Amino acid sequence: MPKETLRSKKQRIKKAVALLRRYRPQADCALYHKNPVQLLVATVLSAQCTDKRVNQVTKTLFKKYPTAKAFSQANLKELEKEIYSTGFFRSKAQNIKTTCEKIQKEFKGKVPNRLEDLLTLPGVGRKTAHVILGTAFQISSGVVVDTHVRRLSNRLNFTNSEDPEKIEKDLCDLLPRKDWIYFSHALILHGREVCKARVPRCKTCFLEEFCPKKGVV
């Protein structure tokens, strides 16, 4: 595949955003939550787990633990049992409890709305921080790069990297900041429904006309 210019990529990603907004105007975070604390917990649970499973677990979990204070006071063994089906339950339970303890002590029980502060919380990396800032606070701190965004960004040749931080930088360089939050939500939804990992549905894809289909056989 010949090397594409930055200008060409920007033109293609602009078209992609326009089409995504036309066909997926309601694209948003799929994790059930009513406040920033719940979104943080749900995002931690979503690591190596489907959003559908997380939503099944949090439906009852958030009734028992509605606040950061409640999670900080949780019995660790009980919390492990309650989130068991999301996988990696021991580390997730420990991170949730410790994070909420820190939120209580250092941030007066409220999830911070600065990237630098969020990254000090146990179990919170750039992806989780961007989800929280973008969805809970409408702050465009970066592009969320999950497995769908990574796959589609490569197929569309918006990046040549598999490293999430490099992909994020490439996408941020191509997109205006106003599109950062929406683009990740829309690409995740498109990846789930159309541009699947094993058998992408190229014939029904509205991005097909200008997609290089890099890596698709």
Q: Active-site residues: which are they?
A: 127, 146
Residue 66 corresponds to which tokens in the numbers above? 């509605």
Going along 20-100, which residue ranges are E strands? Answer: none
Query: CB of 37 within 8 A of CB of 84?
Result: no
- Dihedral (CA of 191, 193, 199, 202) sign: negative
Structure-token match 């702050």, residue found:
139
Task: Name the token pair of 102.
Answer: 């820190």
d(CA 99, CA 104): 9
